[in-house]
Chains A and B, each alone.
Chain A
């Protein structure tokens, strides 16, 4: 757990405050993608359940009330279980400067919103694969 070797990518935690997006992402990750998925509605909830769920990868929405995506990532890095867990950001802002900023925080990739539910899982697999080959 923790580091992903590309062959073992099963459990994904998805953190997003918008319930509709959560629902469609659940379909995209679980039904289309075949992952085991745990949904959280806030960064706070994610921090509470992450140790028990032990995700192989975490997807964080950037813009959330109270604790936003980057803040959540920083807190996750303080927990021993998720110190190295790959994180992907999802954002509706598509400025390359921001994307670089997120990558500098230690995310392995950024998925732009709106995402296509039919290809979301592939996009994530590809991000992880590239991470491994680097």
Chain B
């Protein structure tokens, strides 16, 4: 039954993975054909069912073969098609009738192809916790922020969102006359989407959100309102109805972009954190884990207490959810054991317990835990309380690790990222770049327009970088107006083109002060990390290239040449 038993396991896994990729490519081709039929309104009922079944299979299998992103994307589309397919199965109509499917699903299906053409690199092992941990500082960029303007007649807002698009947001205009199209587009994005409207239509927008989006998800779709009346009464009215922000004409675009950026980061589902569940009741633990994963929180279950410390290091959670009594072990003692290690002193530990006696709870809190959740907890309550605590824990660690003005990594941390990337390049041989980026004539900006404006310029560039770079890229504020980027899996020439395009967008932004406005350009130096023995030399080389760029007239990108 086993062929080639002497071939090592990982090779055989690899063979199966390759075979899966081949088949998935075929499946995606089939799905793309369905997508074409959707566009031409020729998709038949039985096609829809076939499409659903293919997606269901892909959602359930891709992760096993080391393509979790593909599986997750297929799952998202599967969920949207499911109600349509089920309605079809119950229907008595001819199976060959054409069915109406939102065009956005066709787009989403075609995007699956990208996930298989650029599969993540960790192929030798399907579940490698080390790779998993790499996103501990990521998660705030690589997710392009979606802004949707919603109006009865979208003329005014179209101009506004076009201006916002310059800041790197993904902008969209929808009309009330086509609510379904708007809803599908809103549901396509997993992160937050900012809904924008004029104040006279706020009520319509809010009832649109109530009718079309599940209440639990309203947090992800904050409504931002624009108007002409800046009086207290008018602002109060807007706030009372439930808008999250209000901007009054004349609009301050950088400030608005800034607010949208921070709203999206706060509301986005990406920041929901990582939870280690410690429970000897495997079934219950798995249930918690499922509930949390479904809400977008990464959860891992430890049911053997002796594995706790190694799982902590491998998974690096934001929070530990611990049962008070685990077979022969005491959760209280385990919490104390966790605190033995200085690196986990700040890790929030929350007890799950049926202990409702406040005296005993207090006793446990004194011994190292932070809070209690009393069993039984409802799924919804579990998700919400874990999410809030993760968010707070992230805020605390961000305060320590991130620059307060820009939210980017601090100097020492971005340098560490260069070190780590250099090590990864050596292991796998892929090319990566470091980029040193600097604002041109920044001193003049500060001197002419004041330091407040200077800060806005820096923050705006930080936001633009976050919006345009990939999630795997790392961004740090290196010095006053200097930024250091690490771009993994990227050739210097591509990096230079990419940064050049960002520079061009940035130069187009007008910063307004009263009636005046000014523009700022940037210069960048690119160096290939692979060419150097230590990280500092690569940074030095990027700095050298930046220096050359400054001498060659600024406003552009230079690649380091030995």
A residues bordering B, Cβ < 8 Å? Answer: 18, 20-21, 23-24, 26-27, 30-32, 37, 63, 91-92, 94, 96, 99, 109, 112-119, 126-127, 130
Contact = CB atoms under 8 A, between A and B. Distances in A.
Given A96-B287, A116-B127, A127-B282, A21 B61 contact: yes
A94 B78 CA distance: 13
Contact of B56 (A63, A115, A119, A130): A63
Given A27-B9, A32-B9, 6 more contacts: A18-B57, A92-B60, A94-B294, A96-B287, A115-B63, A118-B126
Given A30-B2, A94-B290, A96-B291, A20 B13 contact: no
A114 B290 contact: no
Contacts, number: 77
A96 B294 CA distance: 11
Contact of B20 (A20, A32, A63): A20
B259 interface: no
A119 B307 CA distance: 14
Given A31-B12, A32-B9, A114 B19 contact: no
A94 B295 CA distance: 12
A49 B505 CA distance: 66
A116 B66 CA distance: 9
A8 B1 CA distance: 22
A41 B2 CA distance: 17
B303 interface: yes
Top 6 A-B residue pairs of the complex, sorted by shortest distance between their CB atoms: A92-B60, A114-B63, A113-B60, A114-B64, A116-B127, A24-B16
B380 to A, nearest CB: 12
Contacts of A130: 282-283
A31 B64 contact: no
B310 to A, nearest CB: 14
Contact of B303 (A18, A91, A112, A126): A126
A62 B198 CA distance: 50
Contacts of A109: 283
B506 interface: no
Contacts of B71: 114
A26 B294 CA distance: 28
Given A27-B12, A126-B303, A116 B126 contact: yes
Given A20-B23, A109-B283, A114 B62 contact: yes
B127 A118 contact: yes
8 contacts: A18-B61, A26-B1, A27-B9, A94-B293, A113-B61, A113-B63, A118-B126, A119-B127
Nearest to A120: B64
A112 B290 contact: yes
B282 A24 contact: no
Nearest to A17: B57
B379 interface: yes
A24 B13 contact: yes
A115 B9 CA distance: 17
A114 B24 CA distance: 15
A38 to B, nearest CB: 9
B64 A96 contact: no
Contacts of A18: 57, 61
Among the interface residues B60, B65, B127, B287, which one has the most CB atoms of the partner chain A within 10 A? B60
B19 A20 contact: yes
B354 interface: no
Contact of A114 (B12, B61, B379): B61
A117 B57 contact: no
Contacts of A127: 282
Nearest to A38: B1
B9 A31 contact: yes
Contacts of B282: 126-127, 130
A120 to B, nearest CB: 9
B69 to A, nearest CB: 12
A27 B16 contact: yes
Nearest to B65: A24
A5 B23 CA distance: 40
B556 interface: no
Nearest to A30: B2
A74 B62 CA distance: 29
B125 interface: yes
A27 B61 contact: no
B273 interface: no
Interface in B1-37: 1-2, 9, 12-13, 16, 19-20, 23
Interface centre among A23, A91, A94, A114 (most CB of B within 10 A): A114
